């Protein structure tokens, strides 16, 4: 349960340490953009003041509209920060308690005994992810809503994955249910509640909940999202690509996603959280505290925020999001009052916050690996793609994007991996490898991830 973010910083070997940090960051991002590895907006602030704010690429490929600081992105799972804060607001209003059973507000799910609001906030309730279940048995032509999620669970009663607090497993279900709890407790729709208590007070004029997450031309300044289609061999808008029908199926569910915003508004949001404008200092501290499991161990996830702490950067709270071509990150360095915000609208872009961290602190980057890459055939790459289970709540994903292999872990952005041979892959950014083991029939059974002395085995499940 002590796994940190294993897939760490992206390293551009041409970078020369010692440049002015802003020039170094700009050089890094321009290099990535020239290689089509990023497309979107990046904002960096220190002490609440913007020191870097730049757009890379287009908001719309057909009209050639350029991105700018006011471009609006679907935040995907970064939405969870707002949902969690909504719950904290209601708690501080005396309208609910973190230890309240979910069944108190959603009696349709009373058979899930012992699951509390706090379990949902910290992904320790053991509820299976509705997205996985819906892909298997929900009508893909229908736009699901939060009520559909509740009714599906109430009728089919999918088995709980583990007893509450026994383990940690990222679950979009929990945050969809939290959105419903916000509505039932406050008497306001989720989007109205967030607007009344967060967006309007903070003057986040370009931030709203889009109930249908399918991009629409009705949204002014929208950064259209794109996914690379392997069949068409080109970038295609996600709302027009048939092979991504799941976008429509999940479009009406909010709480786990749905908030749209800009880099400028997210800076206002971070400043408000830091200065306790929306919730109290006590509420903020609890929101940034790790989950405590039944055996006394902890997991570095608070209320809608991933947690990290080390001697170099101090305490860092963040969350990433990935949905239908959007890739997002909001990160605060609490001890050093720094902010990194990344909003991308091309699938396959790489969230580079950890490399930016080193440059922001004017520190040398990790040494690159000396391994040499070879080019594998499409058939060879197809053998390794899939989902690999490390342990309950933690999975490894090997995907192909634009004909290139990527690796990611649960709730982490994908990073490019490179083939040393048919079964051994490596990261150019840091000294880590992925070794695939095949059975006698030539099919991959498992992978082993190695970084330094740490090794993790993962069995292929899909």
The torsion angle over the Cα atoms of residues 415, 442, 386 and 4, rounded to 10 degrees, is: -50
* 306 is a domain residue: yes
Helix (H, G, I), strand (E, B) or coil at 331: strand
- Residue 191 is classified by DSSP as H
**CA quadruple 395, 352, 176, 104: dihedral sign:** positive
Tell whether pTM > 0.75.
yes
* 6 is a domain residue: no
Helices (H), 100-143: 117-122, 130-137
Residues 257, 179 share a domain: yes
426, two tokens = 């490596």
218, two tokens = 């009705």
Looking at the DSSP bridge assignments, the partners of residue 94 are none
Which helix (H) or strand (E) segment holds residue 129: the answer is none
Contact 41, 54 (CB under 8 A): yes
Residues 316, 411 share a domain: no
* 372 is a domain residue: no
Residues 296, 419 share a domain: no
pLDDT for 120: 98
Residues 388, 354 share a domain: no
Domain boundary (332, 365, 398) is at 365
Give the closest residue to 172 by CA, choosing from 224, 218, 123, 110.
123
Rounded Cα distance, 304 and 255, in Å: 11
pLDDT for 17: 36
Rounded Cα distance, 99 and 26, in Å: 46
116, two tokens = 């509390």
pLDDT tens digits in sequence order for the chain, 462 residues long: 333 333 333 333 333 333 599 999 999 999 999 988 899 999 999 999 999 999 999 999 889 999 999 999 999 999 999 999 999 999 999 999 999 999 999 999 999 999 999 999 999 999 999 988 887 788 877 888 999 999 999 999 999 999 999 999 999 999 999 999 999 999 999 999 999 999 999 999 999 998 776 656 678 999 999 886 666 666 777 766 544 556 677 888 999 999 999 999 999 999 999 999 999 999 999 999 999 999 999 999 999 999 999 888 999 999 999 888 899 999 999 999 999 999 999 987 888 888 899 999 998 875 556 788 899 998 999 999 999 988 655 788 898 876 788 888 765 667 788 899 999 998 876 678 999 999 988 899 999 998 776 788 999 998
Contact 300, 308 (CB under 8 A): yes
Residues 224, 121 share a domain: yes
Within 10 angstroms of residue 439's Cβ, the number of other Cβ atoms is: 9
* 371 is a domain residue: no
Residues 148, 276 share a domain: yes
Residues 151, 60 share a domain: yes
240, two tokens = 């027009």
The DSSP bridge pattern shows strands 394-401 and 432-438 to be unpaired
Contact 346, 365 (CB under 8 A): no
- Active site members: 77
Domain boundary (365, 391, 421) is at 365
* 103 is a domain residue: yes
Residues 204, 56 share a domain: yes
* 400 is a domain residue: yes
* 73 is a domain residue: yes
Domain CATH for 297: 3.40.710.10
> What radius of gyration, in Å, describes the C-alpha atoms of the chain?
21
How many domains would you assign to the chain?
Answer: 2
Domain CATH for 393: 2.40.128.50
Residues 254, 188 share a domain: yes
> Which domain does 251 fall in, by range?
15-365
Residues 437, 360 share a domain: no
To the nearest 10 degrees (0 to 180), the angle between helices 130-137 and 146-156 is 80
* 3 is a domain residue: no
Give the closest residue to 253 by CA, choosing from 210, 215, 223, 217.
210
Residues 452, 313 share a domain: no
Helix (H, G, I), strand (E, B) or coil at 357: helix
Residues 59, 151 share a domain: yes
Domain boundary (341, 365, 389) is at 365
The DSSP bridge pattern shows strands 208-209 and 226-229 to be unpaired
Give the closest residue to 327 by CA, choosing from 304, 343, 305.
343
């Amino acid at each position: 349960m002590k796994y940190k973010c294993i897939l760490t910083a992206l390293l551009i070997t041409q970078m020369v340490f010692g440049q002015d940090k802003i020039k170094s960051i700009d050089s890094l991002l321009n290099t990535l953009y020239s290689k089509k590895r990023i497309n979107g907006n990046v904002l960096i602030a220190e002490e609440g003041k913007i020191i870097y704010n730049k757009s890379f690429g287009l908001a719309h490929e057909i009209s050639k509209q350029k991105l700018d600081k006011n471009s609006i992105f679907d935040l995907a799972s970064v939405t969870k920060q707002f949902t969690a804060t909504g719950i904290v607001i209601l708690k501080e209003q005396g309208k609910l308690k973190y230890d309240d059973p979910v069944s108190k507000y959603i009696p349709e799910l009373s058979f899930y005994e012992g699951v509390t609001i706090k379990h949902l906030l910290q992904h320790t309730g053991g509820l299976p992810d509705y997205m996985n279940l819906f892909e298997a048995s929900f009508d893909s032509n229908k736009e699901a809503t939060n009520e559909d999620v509740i009714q599906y669970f109430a009728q089919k009663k999918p088995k709980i994955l583990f007893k509450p607090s026994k383990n940690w497993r990222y679950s979009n279900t929990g945050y969809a249910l939290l959105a419903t709890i916000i509505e039932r407790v406050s008497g306001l729709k989720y989007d109205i509640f967030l607007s009344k208590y967060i967006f309007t007070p903070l003057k986040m004029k370009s931030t709203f909940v889009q109930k249908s997450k399918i991009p629409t031309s009705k949204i002014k300044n929208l950064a259209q999202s794109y996914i690379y289609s392997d069949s068409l061999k080109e970038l295609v808008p996600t709302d027009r690509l048939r092979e991504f029908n799941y976008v429509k199926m999940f479009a009406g569910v909010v709480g786990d996603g749905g908030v749209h915003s800009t880099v400028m508004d997210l800076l206002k949001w971070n400043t408000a959280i830091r200065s306790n404008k929306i919730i109290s200092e006590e509420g903020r501290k609890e929101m940034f505290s790790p989950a405590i499991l039944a055996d006394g161990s902890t997991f570095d996830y608070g209320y809608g925020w991933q947690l990290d702490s080390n001697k170099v950067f101090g305490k860092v709270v963040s969350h990433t999001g990935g949905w239908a071509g959007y890739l997002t990150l909001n990160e605060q360095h609490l001890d050093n009052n720094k902010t990194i915000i990344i909003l991308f609208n091309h699938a396959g872009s790489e969230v580079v916050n950890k490399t930016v961290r080193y440059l922001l602190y004017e520190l040398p980057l990790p040494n690159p690996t000396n391994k040499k890459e070879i080019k594998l055939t499409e058939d060879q790459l197809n053998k390794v793609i899939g989902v690999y289970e490390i342990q309950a709540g933690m999975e490894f994903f090997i995907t192909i994007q634009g004909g290139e292999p990527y690796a990611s872990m649960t709730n982490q952005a994908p990073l490019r991996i490179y083939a040393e041979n048919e079964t051994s892959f490596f990261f150019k950014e840091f000294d880590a490898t992925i070794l695939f083991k095949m059975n006698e029939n030539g099919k991959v059974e498992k992978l082993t991830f190695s970084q330094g002395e740490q090794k993790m085995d993962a069995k292929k499940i899909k």
